[in-house]
Structure 1
Amino acid sequence: MSKLKQEQSIAKRVTLIGAIWDAILGLAKIVAGYFSQSQALIADGIHSLSDLVTDVFVYFAASNARQAPDANHPYGHLRFETVATVFLGLILVAVAIGIGYQSISAQTQAQFTWYGVAAILATIVVKEAIFHYTKKAGEEINSKLLIANAWHSRSDALSSIAVLIGLIGVYFGYPWADMLASIVVAVLIGKMAIGMMWESLTELVDTAPDPKLIEQIKETANSLKNVMAPHDVRARSMAGKIYLDMHIHVPSHASVSEGHYLGDLVIYTIKKAHPQVEDVMVHIDTDDKIQIADTLHSQNGKPEHLKLPARHQILADLGFLLRQHTGYLDIPNTRLHYLGNTLELELIADASKTPEDSNLQQLVARINQDLLTTAYISKATVLWQFPSA
């Protein structure tokens, strides 16, 4: 089973268990509130049933958000969780307003009943247990929606404590305590919903994650040998997971394959040290750019090294300039090193194909002499290959 499928299965199972308990507790509190004429207890029952609504949202969001990337969603479907969280918050704000209005306009007087107290105590115990169960699962799969739903369960427990205080106030002759507790429930729901929506909206507009986390990620990359000065780090969040792109410096004469190796090493190390990082895109810079980074761009914004010719043009120039040496030079496999605004070459030569009785040092001197007419080549090194014995 893939990682996304496992996460989807966990989210659905946890949410379904929470939904069953929300239905049981919500109905129990509404019935107890009706016979007790307690608006706060009825409001708390509605709160529990609103948890059931959110559980349905979370269940279907988990079913869609944890699908693998496809052609239309190359970054995956995790933003489904974010959008679902915003809608969830809107529903909860409406619920909070309705509870507050009902508690103020109600004409009935609450009565203290032991079955009402029993329903409240059961809610506090069960919802706190659901909170820890759901939060642990959300942290395990890095699901912000599941963690938000866990805190929603805890808010139900907290609001139930407020209702319990209200009923105790009624018992001691303070009937207004029930209305006050009901308003507290509404405020708790509204505050939680607004916070949930705000966090999700900031994610939808690609607000950067915590700067401290970004610095920790840069330190992780910088701790590797031959990887220097991570910079230009950009990150976005998707349902609690982080998608990252960054530049790193590697030794200036590193080959393409070594640069690729170091890039993959950075990706592996970051994802291992920071499990919330889902994907990393690494851009390779050479270490010579560390010192000249401020001078790489001309006034028109074009990097200085891009003013140098590309490989196909360089090989064409070499083919003409070194036409007398093509018998033993492997010009197509010439290694190019773009270092700042200069270019260094490594020419591959087969010593067995040189003219008989040739002096290799003299051949190198002639090659460098033939290259003097090119203004863009700062250095050329000839790498001789000798036949095996």
Structure 2
Amino acid sequence: MRVRAPFVWPEDKAKLRRRAIVLEWATLGSMGTAVIVLYFVLGNSQAMRTAWIEDVLSLIPATAYLVASAVEQRKPTTRFPLGYYRAVSIAHLVGATAILVVGCYVLVESAAKLVEQEHPTIGLMSVFGCEVWGGWLMMAALFYSTVPPVILGRLKMPIAREIHDKPLLADAAIQKADWMTGTGAIVGIAGVGFGFWWADAVAALFISVDIVRDGVRHSMRAMGDLADRIPHTVRGDAVHPAIRVARDAAAGVDGVARADVKLREEGHLLTGIVYVELRSDAAVVDCVDRVRKAVEDSDWRLYDISVMPVRPGTI
């Protein structure tokens, strides 16, 4: 059985990938401390509970990413001759599902609190023997929990675009939800302090809508990639330009009359089949090799491309 040669990352992309892994470890460390801090000042605030649960679930995409990054580097074997590159796509689905679960939970809980008209109470807490209104401690903890997501999310975005890293983008999206939830919770707690009992639940409700939207969008993209949808860009839902580039590269090889491609995503990579109509005087084996090399050289993501000569008029 033919086993794929391991994919070799270009040095500049490999450097960005290593940086992404470092950022994910930083995410686990910073958000882990935020979870601990929030736990000790939870009280009975719905927005506070929402922020804490979301921070706990936000550890899932980073963990999935780190596991997938380790699995992806394994060499293809006779049992997995195509390698483990789809582990990254699975991590994308796991991260997207975490976003969706967070959003749905927040939406249902917040709506229930409004319907039941539950009035949250924020009492006094003892700090070094002094009685302090719990809302101040909650808001301080929430502010602390919003700082790392803002910084880490912004650092991850350009890397995700550069190395075609959808799970990293999904993680950046849930970190956006983290700081939005934290900010909304601060507003809600302040509202409770001013006597507006509904401010707490309304803040969490509005935040949940945006989280659910992100979760649905990323889940649909992740499932599409695993179902071999044609490659799309990391941000937005545009067809990946590598498809056109690969087609043009194949058509530009001497001896090729026409060319077409069918590509799919395997994590960071794009692979698939190139169909070529050869001119009558072309040497088949030599032309096929040149087409494969031209296509794989046209974009660093293109890997293990198969080339299939077809009869004239087929394309």
Matches within 5 A, 1:362-381: none
Counterpart for residue 365 of structure 1: none
1:32 is paired with a residue whose SS is: coil
Q: Call closer, same or farther: CA 1:225–1:101 in 2, change over 3 Å.
A: same
What amino acid is aligned across from residue 263 of structure 1 in structure 2? V
Tell whether the 8 Å contact from 2:156 to 2:172 is kept in structure 1 after alignment: yes
Contact 2:46 2:201 in 1 (8 A): yes
Per the alignment, residue 269 of structure 1 pairs with 297
- Shift in Å, 1:3: 3.7
SS at match of 2:141: helix
Q: Which amino acid aligns with 1:243?
A: T
Please point out which of 69, 73, 85 is paired with 2:92: 85
Verify the 8 A CA contact 1:26 1:49 in the aligned structure 2: yes
**One-letter identity of the residue aligned with 1:283:** M
2:208 aligned with 1:186, yes or no? yes
CA contact (8 A) 2:58 2:175 kept: yes
Matched residues in 2 for 1:173 and 1:107: separation? Answer: 10
SS at match of 1:70: coil
**CA contact under 8 A between 2:253 and 2:291: conserved in structure 1?**
no
Deviation at 1:143, TM superposition (A): 2.5
Which of 53, 64, 68 matches 1:61? 68
The correspondence of residues 68-147 of structure 1 with structure 2, limited to 5 A, is: 68-103=75-110, 104-105=112-113, 107-110=119-122, 113-147=135-169
After superposition, the Cα gap between the structure-2 partners of 1:239 and 1:261, relative to the gap in structure 1 and judged at 3 Å, is closer
Cα deviation, residue 163, structure 1: 2.0
Gaps of 5+ in 1: 297-389
Change (3 A) 1:136 1:157: same
Residues 248 and 285 in structure 1, CA contact (< 8 A), matched pair in contact too: yes
Equivalent of 2:48 in 41, 51, 71: 41
Whole-angstrom CA distance in 2 between matches of 1:91 and 1:110? 29
Q: Percent identity?
A: 17
Counterpart secondary structure, 1:279: coil
Matched residues in 1 for 2:195 and 2:228: separation?
A: 53
Deviations 1:28-62, CA, capped at 9 Å, x for gaps: 2333332xx43212311221121123322222222
Which is bigger in relative contact order (C-alpha 8 A, separation at least 6)? 2
**1:152 & 1:92 partners in 2: Cα distance?**
6
Deviations, residues 290-349 of structure 1 (Å, cap 9, x unaligned):
xxx16x9xxxxxxxxxxxxxxxxxxxxxxxxxxxxxxxxxxxxxxxxxxxxxxxxxxxxx
> Normalization by structure 2: what TM-score?
0.76
Match of 2:282 in 1: 254
Q: Is 1:149–2:149 an aligned residue pair?
A: no
Distance 2:80 2:283 in 1: 34
CA distance in 2, matches of 1:183, 1:280: 48
Pairing 1:202–2:224 present: yes
Aligned length: 284
Equivalent residue, structure 2, for 1:217: 246
Q: 5 Å matches for 1:12-31?
A: 12-31=21-40
- Label 1:70 to 1:43 Cα distance change in 2 as closer, same or farther (>3 A): same
In structure 1, distance between residues paired with 2:145 and 2:22: 21
TM-score by length of 1: 0.63
Alignment partners' CA distance in 2, 1:212 and 1:13: 27
The alpha-carbon distance between structure 1 residues 52 and 184, as it changes in their structure 2 partners (threshold 3 A), is same
TM-aligned CA deviation for residue 225 of structure 1: 5.2
- Letter of the 2:203 partner, please give it: A
Give the Cα separation in 2 of the matches to 1:241 and 1:42: 39
Q: Which runs of 5+ in 2 are unaligned?
A: 1-5, 124-133, 233-238
- 2:90/2:222 contact within 8 Å kept: yes
- Which of 46, 54, 58 is the matching residue for 1:51? 58
> 2:160, 2:195 → 1: CA distance?
43
2:303 partner SS:
strand
How far has the Cα of 1:11 moved from its partner?
Answer: 4.8
Taking only aligned residues, the RMSD between alpha carbons, in angstroms, comes to 3.2
Structure 1 position 22, deviation (Å): 0.8
Larger radius of gyration: 1
Instruction: Give the direction of change, closer, same or farther, for the CA distance of 1:280–1:184 in structure 2 (3 Å limit).
Output: same
Equivalent residues in 2 for 1:273-284, closer than 5 Å: 275-284=300-309
1:15 CA drift (Å):
1.6
For 2:190 and 2:119, the matched residues in 1 are separated by 20
Distance 1:110 1:243 in 2: 56
Instruction: Give how far 1:268 is off.
Output: 3.8
Is 1:159 paired with 2:181?
yes
- Offset of 1:179 from its aligned partner? 0.7
Would you say the 8 A contact 1:33–1:39 is kept in 2?
no
Q: Matched residues in 2 for 1:118 and 1:25: separation?
A: 11
Distance 1:221 1:259, change over 3 A: closer
Change in Cα spacing, 1:250 to 1:266, as seen in structure 2 (3 Å) is farther
Q: Is the 8 A contact 1:249 1:284 kept in 2?
A: yes
Decide whether aligned partners of structure 1 residues 157 and 279 sit closer, same or farther in structure 2, where only a CA change above 3 A counts.
farther
Deviates more, 1:86-95 or 1:155-164: 86-95
Name the CA distance, whole Å, in 1 between partners of 2:79 and 2:296: 27
CA distance in 1, matches of 2:41, 2:104: 22
- Do the aligned residues in 1 keep the contact of 2:96 with 2:222 (CA within 8 Å)? no
1:151 match: secondary structure? helix
1:9 to partner: Cα distance: 4.9
